[in-house]
Amino acid sequence: CCLDGSGHNREVHLRIYRGRIIDISRRVPGGATFTLRAPASTWVDLVFGEHHDFMRRAIRGEFSSAGDGYEYLRLTKPLDILVTHARAAANDRRRAQNDTSPLTGGREARS
């Protein structure tokens, strides 16, 4: 859940099975097993920041959780892996944007 400062929550529900995300939605019937909340700026810093520091931020209390605390603790390592993938996707996108010439629209010849 992302707290965007306007008082609105922006939630993303991930259904994960055997290490793979099998569904992404805004809501799930019956609610989430647990939620992880932080201000939007925390999520942005986590994904685009210089260091991968999810665990440090979680320990410092920058995130709060609600729901099944046992499941949250059990899934801390997979959450860390999810953040790793989000950071990699953000870096790939950043590199792709920097490699795109406005004249070719991203269709540069690759050697």
Instruction: Spell out the domain ranges in the chain.
Output: 2-99
Query: What local confidence, expressed as pLDDT, does residue 103 receive?
Result: 53
CA dihedral 54, 56, 62, 64 (to 10 degrees): 70
Query: What local confidence, expressed as pLDDT, does residue 107 receive?
Result: 52
Nearest Cα to 80, choosing from 59, 104, 100, 98? 59
- Whether 111 has a pLDDT exceeding 50, the answer reads no
For 14-44, how does the pLDDT look when each residue is reduced to its tens digit (9 = 90+)?
Answer: 887 877 788 888 877 888 888 888 888 899 9
Using CA atoms, how far residue 86 sits from 73, 82, 93, 106, in Å, is: 20, 6, 11, 22
| DSSP code of residue 8 | -
Contact 52, 88 (CB under 8 A): no
Q: Is the CATH number of domain 2-99 3.30.1050?
A: yes
Please give the residue that has the higher pLDDT: either 82 or 3.
82
Q: With a threshold of 0.75, does the pTM exceed it?
A: no
Alpha carbon 9 to chain centroid, angstroms: 15
Mean pLDDT, residues 47-63: 93
Query: What local confidence, expressed as pLDDT, does residue 34 receive?
Result: 87
